[in-house]
Structure 1
Amino acid sequence: MTTLHIGNTQTEEMSGDPALLSAEQLRFSSASSQRVLWFARDGDVAVVPVAPQETYVAYVTGLTGVDASSLRLVVPPPGHVGGTVLTSDRLADAAFRAELRTALGDRPPARVQAYYPDTAVVSLARALGAAEAVPGHAFLAQGGAVNANSKALFRAVAAGLGIPVAPGAIAAWPWQAERAVTEQFEAGYPVMLKQELHSASEGNEILSPKDGLSPFGAERVVVLQSPEALRSYLDERWSWLTDDGRGRVIVERYVAGARAGYAEYLVTDDGVEFTGEGELLMAPLLDGIVIPIPDLTPAARTGLRELTRRLCEAYRAIGYRGTMSVDGLITPEGGVLLNETNSRLSGSTHLHGVIGPRLAGPDRTLLDRGGLAVPSFAEAVARLADSGLAFDPSSRTGAILTCDYTHVNGTVRYCLAAADADAARNLERELRGVFAMAARN
């Protein structure tokens, strides 16, 4: 039974017009699409924006036990942003669709798994005679992915269910945002402003009425010490905050000292299945993931799982099907506040779905991080093997290179499997030491 994997890690529905992103952002997102290979099984077909290096394909399939020669990778024509990400025009291209039908053996796929299941994905599946192979296709065909990923809808649903969230409001107009920010400022709190549709904290900014606050979950803190300064800020940044009027702005109280975590689920016709949890490491934007969340009290873990499951049940009731990763904050007092849902494959789905259960096992801690500078992917694999730090299936510990960014910025992403969080951090120090030493020699 063939699965069609679609590596659309940056779409118009998800983050606005990709043409407005920098060339490096587009190349980075394009490289991230390689994660679809972790899900592939013998005979599957994958649509990717750019063909991955053969060394990367061989490395991933060598760990997953998949016959690389049985896979079919299809790259559509470039499209309007130059062939970096899978925009809707690339998925609609007639020549590409003909090539894809050939790769599928002129048979519809049994399942379609897209990173972001938008209307373009449903349209493609329908053209292949496989609309029902897309989980929740009827909901998604009506633009359901936009709503299921909306931070504004999340707050409305959470409030309606009585799920705790940080105090705040949804603003469609600058005056609404000004009122909501002022309310928090007057109570002595800074605020986080969020774009309605974005990912990895890139659409966030923190506003504070006083100096001294370090950013966490946003690139910067903007100090605004007067009503006039706030109005000037909103006038200047409103287009960015709303993606040029496409979305609303979420204003929420900034919770200093909180830890960021999430719980991930698979939402199906049969119910909601918990697949894993993790801590989101911020420095100040997303810098890594630790699975499971270390040093979490039983009460906080229970609270996170109960609240996130209730939310997923609500989205299941309106027709969403697929992966849902629900983010939350663990407050310094040990409470749990939810703050958004990501109704798509996340940056950790391959960890919960493949690397954790199939390679490392459920009793291992995983530390996933990026930014390891290497001379090439092939050289990184070789040095990892020579160092003795490469993943060992017998001990179920070691380093796995999860994504290849060498053609973007000369780095790779890695996942460390270890007995616990301390052991994972020690392994990370060894790993970085090996590559730092090699770079000096």
Structure 2
Amino acid sequence: MNTECEDPAALVVLANFESPLAVGAREVSIQRQWSQQAPRKLWLTRPGDVVITPVPISEPFRRYVAERLGTPRNSVRVVTLPDTPGLPMSQALKGQGLLRPLRAMVRDAPGARLLPTALDAASIALAADLDIPVLPYEAGRPRPDVLRAVAELNTKSGFRIRAGQLALRLPHGVVCTGAQLGRVIGELLSTYEEVVVKPDRSAGGHGLRFVTRNDRSRPAPPPHSRWVVERYVADARAVSAQGEVTAAGVEVPYDGEMRMSGGSFTGYRAPLDDLPEKTREELAGWTRALGRHLAATGYRGPYSLDAVADRSGTLYALECNVRRTATTTAHALVTRLTRAGHPAPAWSTGTVRTGSRLSFDRAVARLDKAGLDFRPGDVEGVLLYTDRPKDGRGWRYAALAPDRARLAELEARLTAALGSAQGGPKGRN
């Protein structure tokens, strides 16, 4: 199921990466960093759609996406917001006088629906201002209690409570305040060699810290902040499964291994086909159980369950993300580009660093010269997943191939063609 690509109505794609669902409102720098990925939302669009983005989208990238999707150039309208750190996008639209022209665009697209990256109060307010429904809610928009449930599950503490009720296996851990954090870390380190310290509301590994018994320093956050301290599961692989809640029920469209570096997410590889089958089945079962709970609250849409598998294949749930994540757009893109009649491909995302700064067109030319540039009708290749990076060197990509062995070969060729060191190596959970 790909809600983004299967709905016949026009989409108003809201790239609201600066959402309080993911991190605290004061985390302006990381929100700005994540917002640089907003151009990737173009991969979800069709002619007549609208994209609302917090960062400009270059003409070369717009041209590139249209050519790879086989859609007319400039058939998607882009609304770019001025830099408004800490301000919800719906308020920024009003403050910059952009709401009225956006309403006119929506009137030109009867039946349009809003597709937010994060389902938060500000995105629902924008849907109300535009008088359009939110995809994929049958009743038009989610109830306030759905938003509260989503906000709670996007915290580490909220997830631990729900996971316990659903009988998901968790690493031993404690929820505490900033004032209690030092004591809690010390108590857990009396039992375990290493612990993971996590801000209660965070995403992508932001703010996460590993602490060992030999560490003399201890974090000293604000006393009323909230934290989770967990046993570190050594030598584990970071895995996840993606769920989708629809009116018809719960599905698990894909699973994969997360590429991590220092606890931060750097990429993904799917499907997850080299763990014990019982481990993969357990991950899918946990994901369905979480989805049934979400369905009961009235939630509709995607969510993910993140976990680690230790050397024996024992699975431990870590957190869930009840929103569109770093993998949902990539999976929708790969599914869209895979022609009928072909088996589901293996695919991956990551970052490759070039030795020198490149323009967007120059980076594409290097892919083309190496025989890696994906074109409509191909069954394998590499795509530049988002716009030119600010430094011109750290290029995000999506790759697809008929199987995992061929995918690994493409990524090796990509590193040789574009850069000096591929991002996204396996690392600590």
Tell me the TM-score normalised to structure 2 length.
Answer: 0.86
For the structure 1 residues 296 and 59, does the alpha-carbon distance in structure 2 shift closer, same or farther, using more than 3 Å as the test? same
Are 2:323 and 1:333 aligned?
no
SS at match of 1:251: strand
Residues 1:349 and 2:353 are matched in the alignment: no
2:252 to 274, 292, 295: 274
Alpha-carbon distance in structure 2 between the residues aligned to 1:434 and 1:278:
26
Corresponding residue for residue 298 of structure 2: 319
Cα distance, 1:13–1:297 mapped onto 2, change above 3 Å: closer
Aligned letter for 2:252? F
Alignment of 1:210-229 (within 5 A): 210=214, 223-224=215-216
Distance 1:79 1:186 in 2: 45
Gaps in structure 2 of 5+ consecutive residues: 1-8, 421-429
Change beyond 3 A, Cα 1:26–1:146 = closer
Residues 197-236 of structure 1 aligned to structure 2 (within 5 Å): 197-210=201-214, 223-224=215-216, 233-234=218-219, 236=220
Please give the alpha-carbon distance, in whole angstroms, between the structure 2 residues aligned to 1:411 and 1:123. Answer: 35
Aligned to 2:351: 370
> 1:174 aligned to 151, 171, 179, which one?
179
Question: Which residue of the other structure, out of 97, 111, 116, is the alignment partner of 1:114?
Answer: 116
For 1:217, the equivalent position in structure 2 comes to: none
Percent identity of the aligned residues? 27
Match of 1:56 among 30, 42, 61: 61
CA distance in 2, matches of 1:111, 1:58: 24
Is the 8 Å Cα contact of residues 42 and 66 (structure 1) preserved in structure 2? yes
Q: What is the Cα deviation at residue 142 of structure 1?
A: 4.8
Deviation at 1:253, TM superposition (A): 0.8
By how many angstroms is 1:151 displaced? Answer: 1.4
Q: Is the 8 A contact 2:245 2:291 kept in 1?
A: yes
- Cα distance, 1:87–1:130 mapped onto 2, change above 3 Å: closer
Among 93, 96, 111, the residue aligned to 2:95: 93
- The residue aligned with 1:127 is 129
* Cα distance, 1:112 vs structure 2: 1.2
Matches within 5 A, 1:154-173: 154-173=159-178
Q: CA deviation at 1:273?
A: 1.7
Hey, what's the Cα distance between the residues in 2 that align with 1:328 and 1:297? 15
Look up the SS of the partner of 1:384 in the other structure: helix
Q: Does 1:187 align with 2:191?
A: yes
Shift of 1:7: 0.6
Note closer, same or farther for the CA distance 1:386–1:193 as it changes in structure 2 (3 Å cut). Answer: same
When the two structures are aligned, how many residues end up with a matched partner?
Answer: 404
Counterpart of 1:104 in 2: which secondary structure? helix
Give how far 1:313 is off.
1.3
One-letter code aligned to 2:349: D
Question: In structure 1, what is the Cα distance between the partners aligned to 2:344 and 2:134?
Answer: 36
- Shift of residue 382, structure 1, vs aligned partner: 1.8
* Alignment root-mean-square deviation, CA: 2.5
The 5 A counterparts of 1:300-319 are 300-319=279-298
The answer to whether the 8 A contact 2:358-2:392 is kept is no
Q: Which amino acid aligns with 2:41?
A: V
Would you say the 8 A contact 2:120–2:147 is kept in 1? no
Q: Which amino acid aligns with 1:428?
A: E
| Contact 2:252–2:287 (Cα < 8 Å) also in 1 | no
- Indicate if the aligned counterparts of 1:108 and 1:130 stay in contact, CA closer than 8 A: no
Q: Which structure has the higher relative contact order (CA within 8 Å, separation 6+)?
A: 2
Does 2:363 match 1:359? Answer: no
Distance, in Å, in 2 between the alignment partners of 1:415 and 1:98 is 36
> Are the equivalent residues in 2 in contact too, given 1:118–1:140 (CA < 8 A)?
no
Which residue identity lines up with residue 417 of structure 2 in the other structure? V
SS at match of 1:317: helix
CA distance in 1 between counterparts of 2:364 and 2:120 reads 35
The 5 A counterparts of 1:383-402 are 383-402=366-385
Q: What's 1:251 paired with? A: 229
Deviations 1:5-36 (A, max 9, x none): 00111223421235x443xx455322201121
What secondary structure sits across from 1:406 in the alignment? coil
SS at match of 1:42: coil
Query: Is the alpha carbon distance of 1:169 and 1:308 closer, same or farther for their aligned partners in structure 2, counting shifts above 3 Å?
Result: same
Shift of the 50–108 alpha-carbon distance from structure 1 to 2, 3 Å rule, reads: farther
Q: Secondary structure at the match of 2:99?
A: helix
Corresponding residue number in structure 1 for 2:84: 79
Structure 1 unaligned regions, length at least 5: 211-222
What corresponds to 2:17 in structure 1? Answer: 9
The 2-side partners of 1:33 and 1:127 are apart by: 22
| Mapped partners of 1:167, 1:279: distance in 2 | 22
Deviation at 1:132, TM superposition (A): 5.2
Counterpart of 1:149? Answer: 154
Quote the offset at 1:436 in angstroms.
4.0
Kindly state the Cα deviation for residue 386 of structure 1 after the two structures are TM-superposed.
2.1
Could you report, residue by residue, the CA deviation over 1:128-166 in whole angstroms, capped at 9, with x for unpaired residues? 112455635214775444223111111000101111111
| Residue identity in the other structure for 1:3 | L
